A = this chain, B = another copy of it.
Amino acid sequence: MSNPVLVEVTRGNLVESRHRGTVVAVDGDGRTLLSLGETDAAVFPRSACKAMQALPLVESGAADAYGFGAKALALACSSHSGEPEHVALAAEMLAAAGRDHHALECGAHWSSDQKTLIAQARSLEAPSALHNNCSGKHAGFICACCHSGTEVSGYIGYDHPLQQEIRGVMASLTGAILARDNCGVDGCSIPTYAVPLKGLAHGFARMATGIGLGPGRARASRRLIDACMAEPFYVAGTKRACTRLMKLAPGRIFAKTGAEGVFCAAIPEKGIGIALKCEDGATRAAEAMVAATLARFFADEPEIHAGLMAQANHSIRNWNRMHVGDVRVTDALAA
């Protein structure tokens, strides 16, 4: 069985490349609202589930103890571009717990955003772990450990108490079994677990609605989702897809990308959770897919619908800024 083609990339009058994918949207009770492709297949959510991984930071009381506002909570759920504001805030979060970048175990890398990389190349000898796109999440991990008195060193390991706690949180939210046999290691070295896409969507529907969650988890979930929607720059960065999607309908759309073509999203007021994966891992296609999927649920609000579809379907320009083709979602998704 093959997943349907959901995004096409054209050049001139022809389709040049095709992206297949899987999309699922569910409500807080787990009822399927939209299903395309093999939605029972297990998918590594990668960074798309960072808001789930940030729950211990809030539930433990660490976020309050360290005085974290919406920006810090958004950064804890982020894959940021390493812009100066992101780097400074990650350092502040660590400082609140009496730590610095030496505690980070995520590794260092240059920004994947070209403009930011050029600025970094001109001002830095080399990037530090603070510039890693995951430094906010890792700062949150370290703060959670410090607050609870758990040993920080080795916090990225499968058997570390924090990762055990995260495993429990994610199993409960997604309804999936998380164990060594569906575990991989993420880019930032923490465990990532392949879970059915539908379970992932249901997890975000639960976070957005609180349905089926205890009151503490429901409050913490909503606080993290609200923080991301309130501070979308801190979830990604300038011109990034997550940031642009959340800015289109302030306080109404949550969206978070993950590596290898994953996207998770929620529309809290409608009680909807969304998860999708581009089969080939392409970010450009996952971005088009999530925008078009969100648009289906804003059909009665022309301005938001048009804004989302403008992110789904957009032109490709060459080095001379000539319009040479388009990225567009297929009828299977846009319908």
Q: Count of A residues near B, CB < 8 Å?
A: 52
Q: Mark A260-304, 1 if CB is under 8 A from B, else 0.
A: 110000000000000000111110010000000000000000000
Separation of A321 and B194 alpha carbons in the complex (Å): 21
Separation of A279 and B325 alpha carbons in the complex (Å): 16
- Interface residue? A85 (CB, 8 A): no
> Are B44 and A11 within 8 A (Cβ)?
yes
Q: Could you tell me which A residues sit within 8 Å of B by CB distance?
A: 2, 9, 11-14, 16-20, 42-44, 105-110, 114, 117-118, 121-122, 132, 181-189, 192, 194, 260-261, 278-282, 285, 318-322, 324-325
> Are A319 and B109 within 8 A (Cβ)?
yes
Nearest B residue (CB) for A280: B280
> Are B2 and A14 within 8 A (Cβ)?
no
> How many copies of this chain are found per oligomer?
2
Min CB gap A159→B, angstroms: 16
Residues of chain B lying within 8 A (CB to CB) of residue A319:
106-109, 132, 187-189
Interface CB pairs A-B, < 8 A, 8? A9-B281, A13-B184, A16-B260, A20-B20, A106-B320, A121-B122, A122-B122, A184-B324
Q: A110-B114, A280-B19 are in contact. Are A13 and B181 (CB under 8 A)?
A: yes
Residues of chain B lying within 8 A (CB to CB) of residue A280:
17-20, 279-280, 282, 285
Separation of A151 and B247 alpha carbons in the complex (Å): 50
> Are A107 and B320 within 8 A (Cβ)?
yes
> Are B132 and A12 within 8 A (Cβ)?
no
Q: Which of B13, B110, B184 contacts A325 (CB 8 A)?
A: B184
